[in-house]
Amino acid sequence: MNAWLLLLPAAVLLVAFTHYPILATIRHSLFISRRNGTEVFVGLDNYRSMAADPIFWKALINNFWFALGTIPTSIALALLMAVWVNRNMRGRGFLRLAYFTPTVLPMIAVANIWLFFYTPDYGLLDQLRGLFDLAGWNWLGSPSTVMPCLIVMVIWKEAGFFMIFYLAALQQLSPDLEEAAAVEGASRWYTFRRITFPLLMPTTLFVAINAVINSFKLVDHLVIMTKGGPNNASTLLLYYIYEVAFTFQDSAYAATLTVVLLVLLSTLALLKFGYLDRRIHYQ
């Protein structure tokens, strides 16, 4: 009895804010709401119309490219920067701080800074282009460049954050290991490949899971910078859910889309716990 009482605060929070909302969302996705507030059971009708919705597929494919563009690059950059600042050098503290700045800045401010970079004609990028007598370009207004522009910004924002995790992990590694490898004649690259990187795998996995979740979570920048446009070229799944729920007020369809997002993320979680964890060495 006492044990259950001690569990109660955590259990209440989990049930109220995680488990119940998930079940409610799944239930909600099987109904449609009438204007008068009543709900009608429609089975899988919502899912059928979702499968026929071109914007849903567009958002899903966009999200796939967005994830592919941001995750590997930001992780690689984070690792590179962490290895670089993980040694004694002048201005190390300043460098570490500089890398971490994007994480500290409020997201709305970040979006506005980048909005200025990408502004046609007098934005930073176009002014640079102007130096080479190139015409202005509407970076965020062209379907061909809007996605790469967002990807670059997100990499800039995420890499510094992930670097902190890598830096912490690197400092946990005993310097003896590197020295032992050096005595055995291993080059720095060999040591990195066979010793350091494998020992950082738990961090890499953690960072990768975070990166995937973040790539499905991005909303604020889209609201400020593109509103999903032009022609849905920058609509990501969660932004579409936000639009359906709060702009189109179709909560049943939003619930259906949310279920898809949930399934995607829980599949990834299962993959982590079921497969990857067994192949990674934990200290």
The verdict on 182 binding another protein (CB under 8 A) reads yes
Q: Is 277 in the site for another protein (CB under 8 A)?
A: no
C-beta separation of 59 from 235 below 8 A = yes
Please state the closest distance from residue 163 (CB atom) to another protein, in A: 22
**Contacting another protein (CB under 8 A), which of 42, 67, 186, 219?**
186
**Which lies closer to another protein via its Cβ, residue 38 or residue 174?**
174
Residue 188 makes contact with another protein by CB under 8 A: no
Min. distance of Cβ 83 from another protein in angstroms? 18
185 binding another protein? (CB under 8 A)? yes
* Close Cβ partners of 209 (under 8 Å, ≥ 6 residues apart): 268, 269, 272
CA dihedral 158, 255, 20, 222 (to 10 degrees): 20
Which residue lies nearer to another protein by CB, 57 or 190?
A: 190
Residue whose structure tokens are 């022609």: 231
Binding another protein (rule: CB under 8 A), the pick from 10, 183, 247, 275 is 183
Query: First vs last Cα of the chain: how many Å apart?
Result: 36
Nearer CB in complex with another protein: 131/183: 183
Choices 55-63, 124-132, 146-154, 171-179 (CB under 8 A): range interacting with another protein? 171-179
Classify 41 in phi/psi space as left (phi over 0), alpha (psi -120 to 50) or beta.
beta
Find tokens 């991005």 and name the residue.
218
Binding span for another protein by CB under 8 A among 127-135, 162-170, 172-180, 208-216: 172-180
Mind giving me the DSSP string for 167-206? HHHHHHS-HHHHHHHHHTT--HHHHIIIIIHHHTHHHHHH
- Binding flags for another protein, 72-91, as an x/- string (CB under 8 A): --------------------
Site for another protein contains 1 (CB under 8 A): no
Q: Which of residues 197-256 bind another protein (CB under 8 A)?
A: 198-199
Do residues 163 and 81 lie in contact, with contact meaning Cβ atoms separated by under 8 Å?
yes
Burial of 280 (0-12, 13-18, 19+ CB in 10 A): middle
Residues 95-154 touching another protein, rule: CB under 8 A, are: none
Q: Which residue is listed with tokens 């890598």?
A: 166
User: Would you tell me which residues interact with another protein (CB under 8 A)?
Assistant: 174, 176-177, 179-186, 190, 194-195, 198-199, 281, 283
